[in-house]
Amino acid sequence: MLRDLSGDTSLMSLNTATVREQWDLKEIINGCVRHKIGGISPWRDQVSAIGLDETAKRIEDAGLRVTGLCRGGMFPAADAAGRQANIDDNRRAIDEAVTIGADCLVLVVGGLPGGSKDLADARGQVFDGISAVLDHARSNHMPLAIEPLHPMYAADRACVNTLRQALDMCDGLGAGIGVAVDVYHVWWDPDLEAGIARAGANSQLLAYHVCDWLVETKDLLLDRGMMGDGVIDLKGIRTWVEAAGYDSLCEVEIFSAANWWKRDPDDVLKTCVTRHQTVV
């Protein structure tokens, strides 16, 4: 039994990448208020552009739930100094997530270090990097959410590519970590339903991101579709997500250089809200 999203815009969260080319974070926060969107998930570069404390205040004043901060991760590096710098940056990201009251810090874990072809080693570096920051996250009560990325990003963005792989890593790491399920990355996975159920059973389902997969996709990074314009069975996946006990917001996250980033941002938000109520 799916929750009824129609008429309740508060169950939608906006990942700020969706209108990042048109608006700065202040304008995005105001846009969420205008369109009665319930949550927001900002990116760190947008936060730092207007200031961390200013961001926290504006989000609180707007009454928005922060469904995540994007993003930590990017752990692998070619040498020890690089790995330590990445660990330090993730500690800062955890602190920032705490300051803005985020539900979780989303981790895009990183891919192969420059010059390497050793994917197993990169995955080991991810595990070690998360291990090094997890106590800091736990003591600050900031859950970390591994976002498995589509395998086309294994080299440059994330070498954790399936929900099962992410959950196995979580199990090895212990408390304080779970997953962000983004339909763009996992919709194709034959084990998706089982993975979502497994995450829910262990209270590891921390965030749910929606967009759509266009046929054809013209750019692997920047051609995500608006919900309803592609081939992802959004209602089917949300059925699994809610059956697993997820009761937080659906976060709309659309990178779309050639289409949605070129449109009037108020029209984009209006479309997001309408689609969220009808096809998600």
- Residues forming contacts to Zn ion in the complex (CB under 5 A) are 182, 209, 253
Q: Among residues 96 and 182, whose Cβ is nearest to Zn ion?
A: 182
What's the min distance (Å) between Cβ of 79 and Zn ion?
29
E strand or H helix at 106: strand 105-108
Q: Using DSSP bridges, classify how beta strands 144-146 and 69-73 pair: parallel, antiparallel or unpaired.
A: unpaired
Select from 143, 137, 130 the least CA-distant residue to 173.
Answer: 130
What's the min distance (Å) between Cβ of 182 and Zn ion?
3
For the chain, the distance separating the N- and C-terminal CA atoms, rounded to the nearest angstrom, is 14
CA–CA gap between residue 97 and residue 66 (Å, rounded)? 9
CA–CA gap between residue 257 and residue 273 (Å, rounded)? 20
Select from 130, 55, 156, 132 the least CA-distant residue to 97.
Answer: 55
Q: Among residues 77 and 110, whose Cβ is nearest to Zn ion?
A: 110
CA–CA gap between residue 109 and residue 234 (Å, rounded)? 25
Q: Which residues make Cβ contacts (< 8 Å) with residue 267, sequence separation at least 6?
A: none
What's the min distance (Å) between Cβ of 209 and Zn ion?
4
What's the min distance (Å) between Cβ of 117 and Zn ion?
27
CA–CA gap between residue 273 and residue 32 (Å, rounded)? 10
Q: Among residues 83 and 224, whose Cβ is nearest to Zn ion?
A: 224
Q: Among residues 130 and 179, whose Cβ is nearest to Zn ion?
A: 179
- In the numeric block, which tokens belong to residue 114? 């420059």
What's the min distance (Å) between Cβ of 124 and Zn ion?
24
Residues 109, 160 contacting (CB under 8 angstroms): yes
What's the min distance (Å) between Cβ of 89 and Zn ion?
19
> What is 219-256 written as a DSSP string?
STTTBPBPTTSSS--HHHHHHHHHHTT--SPEEE---B
Q: Among residues 182 and 229, whose Cβ is nearest to Zn ion?
A: 182
- In the numeric block, which tokens belong to residue 164? 């099962």
Q: Among residues 43 and 77, whose Cβ is nearest to Zn ion?
A: 43
Q: Among residues 129 and 148, whose Cβ is nearest to Zn ion?
A: 148
What's the min distance (Å) between Cβ of 242 and Zn ion?
18
